[in-house]
Amino acid sequence: MRRATSTSRGLRGQSAFEFMFIFGIFLGAVLIGAWVSQMKTAEILKAQKDLEIDDLMTSVTDKINTAWLEGEGFSTNLTMPSRVAGTAYSVNVSANHVTLFIGDDYYIRPLVTANVSGGLVTGAVNRLENTGGAVVIS
């Protein structure tokens, strides 16, 4: 039986070190790729949420503005989703703007009139009616 010499032991140690070094570089590259991918995914989800909120805010302000601009006796319905981007939210109409609160964020859109009374209920059909030059939400 042949005994391992110190030279062959040294080569095995060097090979193990080289393997660990290359494996570490490969693992680092995979981790950087996973981090970049996660950041892009979060960015896309934020953009989708903002787009969904923008669509809802446009719909709400357009309906309220239309109800006021059409004049006395005009009425329309506005269906509000129960969740936006999978998250509960609330909408407040005051002065001449609409504010949407979702989590720690809020979004504001102006209205053409300050003559708005009532509140929007999420997850329901809201009736907008122009009564005496003011938009009443019920």
User: What is the chain's pLDDT, residue by residue, as a tens digit (138 residues)?
Assistant: 555 555 666 677 788 899 999 999 999 999 999 999 999 999 999 999 999 999 999 999 999 999 999 999 999 999 999 999 899 999 999 889 999 999 999 999 999 999 999 999 999 999 999 999 999 999
For CA atoms 69, 72, 76, 80, the dihedral sign is: positive
Q: Residue 40 domain-assigned?
A: yes
How far is 99 from 93, CA to CA, in rounded Å? 6
User: Number of structural domains, the chain?
Assistant: 1
Q: Residue 12 domain-assigned?
A: yes
Q: Residue 45 domain-assigned?
A: yes
Pick from 91, 98, 88, 106: nearest CA to 62: 98
How far is 86 from 91, CA to CA, in rounded Å? 16
- Which residue type is seen at 46? K
Q: Residue 20 domain-assigned?
A: yes
Q: Residue 1 domain-assigned?
A: no
Range of the domain at 81: 6-137
